[in-house]
Amino acid sequence: MDENKKIYKRPESVLVVIYSKTGHVLMMQRVFPEEFWQSVTGSLEWGEQAHEAAVRELKEETGLDAAGLIDCQFSQEFEIYSIWRDRYEPGIMRNREHVFLLPLEDCAAIKFDPREHSEIRWVSREEAIQMATSHTNSEAITCWVPEV
Determine, yes or no, domain membership for 123.
yes
Confidence of residue 114 (pLDDT cuts 50, 70, 90): very high
Residue 107 lies in a domain: yes
* Domain assignment present for 6: no
Q: Is residue 5 one of the residues assigned to a domain?
A: no
- Is residue 37 domain-resident? yes
Closest listed residue to residue 8, CA positions, set 97, 84, 79, 96:
84
pLDDT at 59 over 60: yes
Task: Specify which residues 71 forms β-bridges with.
Answer: 100
Beta pairing class for 24-30 and 37-38: antiparallel
Q: Which residues form the domain of 115?
A: 12-144
DSSP 108-138: ------TTTEEEEEEEEHHHHHHH-SSHHHH
Residue 139 lies in a domain: yes
Residue 85 lies in a domain: yes
pTM: 0.94
What is the pLDDT, as a whole number, of residue 34?
82
Mean confidence (pLDDT) of the chain: 95
Contact 54, 30 (CB under 8 A): no
pLDDT in tens, 94-107: 999 999 999 999 99
For the stretch 61-97, pLDDT in tens is 999 999 999 999 999 999 999 999 999 999 999 999 9
Residue 3 has what pLDDT?
61
Which of 147, 102, 101 is closest to 126 using CA atoms?
Answer: 147
pLDDT in the model for residue 6: 84
Q: How many distinct structural domains can be found in the chain? A: 1
Output the pLDDT for position 35. Answer: 87
Query: What's the whole-number mean pLDDT along residues 10-26?
Result: 97
Q: Which CATH number belongs to the domain containing residue 64 in this structure?
A: 3.90.79.10
CA atoms within 13 A on the CB side of 35: 2
